[in-house]
Structure 1
Amino acid sequence: MIDFLLSGDALMALLTLTFLEIILGIDNILFISISAGKLPQEQRKKATNIGLLLALVQRVILLFFVSYLTKLKTPFWVVESSWISFELNVQSLILMLGGLFLLYKSTTEIMEKLETNKEEKLKESKPKTLKDVLLQILIIDLVFSIDSILTAVGMTSGLHSNSNYTLILMITAVIISIIVMIAFANKIREVIERHPSMQILGLAFLILIAFLLITESAHVSHAVVFNNEVGVIPKGYLYFAIAFSLGVEIINIRMKKSNLKKKSNTKVEE
């Protein structure tokens, strides 16, 4: 086993898989950061770390049931009509429900932030508890975990005849990626909390991710609408949009800080 794990193919697969796990975890970090922001200040870091640790435990457990996960594509409800047809399976159902849940949470959060009478709204609303936030994180992480695990299975397929060796490789990649995410998640959350525009941007990203999950659900179930098969949206488009938008927002934040410094210096000179 050691010889396999130290081989060039295994190390390259580990690096690639770890990188992909971190990239796929961006949406998870966004959701955890925004959800943790609903808690009192002293509980936010704790919720972020626990949320990511729960993600680690959940993904490792799912890896041990990877043979079952590959069977999630077996359809249990088939619909065929003149204008729509699909083969609903457990994987597509989980993706659909996760996308709808994420869409609901994102839109309600945006609506709350757009309330004109914000102070009264905050007084009337009950504060979120750590248990409620962790439950939400656990639910949405299940959706992200399945996507992540199936990606890992596809990448490590055929590396070795012994499936236990590839299982250890996948678990190692997941552990490393979660450690990296824990190292940066709280810093990301603090940046989002300091800048309200970043919060709206993050929620907008979650809406995009929700639509991505819904279309992926339709693609997995081989949905055909008006003789047109629903295709999957490449995730590279989403990550490029996130990177580009963040870049523009960072420039805007720096410009605002620069303008504030200029105004303060002008007042001092006067």
Structure 2
Amino acid sequence: MDSLLQLAADPAAWAALATLIVMEVVLGIDNLIFISILTNKLPEEHQTKARRIGIGLALILRLGLLASIAYIVQLTEPVFEVLGKAFSWRDLILIAGGLFLLWKATQEIHHSVDPEPEDKAVGGKAQIGFAAAIGQILVLDLVFSIDSIITAVGMTDHVPIMVIAVLVAVSVMLLAADPLSRFIANNPTVVMLALGFLIMIGMTLIAEGFGAHVPKGYIYTAMAFSAGVEGLNILVRRRRRAKTGNL
């Protein structure tokens, strides 16, 4: 209790908390985009439930990883070498997660460009089973959770700060999940943009796994710029429709 009070009185701890919350929220965007795209392929009555389960699993995984933080730190230790390049368990998880994202995003782009026959799709969207959706969300939750917790460990040594940051970030994900999913569903071009983001994130994870550090600022600046351009396109389309309707 005394240690928590001392931590609360430390300005540096508050600065670390604010920084970590922002970082965790930003990292959670990747996770949320994937969850939104995947759950939008479920029947409408199952979508909200699947999103909440997916985000709940993300919270459980993050808190579980924090509880075993000593083990998580060891994931960065090399376990074998290939042609002079050392690989850790974290590297292997990032590479596997990146490959999974590339496969999934490419598959979704294929479904968008060449839709399934009517007997396999509803409303022009390929459908998936509830259990399959939760399974795929769990795989990416694990990858993003490990990346999130290792990032947190690199920013502070205080577990309570990490726990608070994770709780805040996951709460933001929970609040943003339904509005983001509705926005993606109502704007088909945004789906393609989001899938492009997932391919970029997948390539980044693979690069990180092979030891090529890609500054996150570059990635999120590119995403913000692309999202801004798409926002202008949406605004132009709406104004054109409004003018056409008034004629």
Q: Which of the residues 240, 246, 250 maps onto 2:231?
A: 250
1:110 is the counterpart of 2:109:
yes
Partner amino acid for 2:245? S
Partner amino acid for 1:254? L
* Aligned partner of residue 33 in structure 1, secondary structure: helix
Q: Which residue of 1 aligns with 2:142?
A: 142
Distance 2:229 2:127 in 1: 33
Distance 1:205 1:97 in 2: 17
1:262 is the counterpart of 2:243:
yes
TM-score by length of 2: 0.93
1:53 is the counterpart of 2:56:
yes
1:127: how far off? 3.6
TM-score by length of 1: 0.85
* Aligned partner of residue 232 in structure 1, secondary structure: coil
1:131: how far off? 1.7
* Aligned partner of residue 171 in structure 1, secondary structure: helix
Distance 1:55 1:206 in 2: 18
Q: Which residue of 2 aligns with 1:206?
A: 198
1:181 is the counterpart of 2:173:
yes
1:93-124 deviation digits (Å, cap 9, x = unpaired): 1000000001000000100111166535527x
Cα 1:105–1:116 change in 2 (3 A) is: closer
1:126: how far off? 7.9
Q: Which residue of 2 aligns with 1:241?
A: 222
Q: Which of the residues 31, 38, 46 maps onto 2:41?
A: 38
Distance 2:200 2:213 in 1: 13
Distance 1:13 1:97 in 2: 31
Partner amino acid for 1:257? R
1:73: how far off? 2.2
Percent of aligned positions that are identical: 41
- 1:13-24 equivalences in 2 (<5 Å): 13-24=16-27
Q: Quick check: 2:116–2:126 contact (8 Å CA) kept in 1?
A: no
Distance 1:130 1:121 in 2: 15
* Aligned partner of residue 42 in structure 2, secondary structure: coil
1:217-258 deviation digits (Å, cap 9, x = unpaired): 000xxxxxxxxxxx3111111101111111111111111111
Q: Which residue of 2 aligns with 1:92?
A: 91
Partner amino acid for 1:145? S
Question: Unaligned stretches of 5+ in structure 2?
Answer: none
Q: RMSD across aligned C-alpha pairs, in angstroms?
A: 1.6
Q: Quick check: 1:5–1:169 contact (8 Å CA) kept in 2?
A: no
Distance 2:207 2:116 in 1: 36
Q: Quick check: 1:76–1:89 contact (8 Å CA) kept in 2?
A: yes
Distance 2:226 2:143 in 1: 25
Partner amino acid for 1:62? L
Distance 1:151 1:139 in 2: 19
Partner amino acid for 1:91? R
* Aligned partner of residue 73 in structure 1, secondary structure: coil
* Aligned partner of residue 170 in structure 2, secondary structure: helix
1:194 is the counterpart of 2:186:
yes
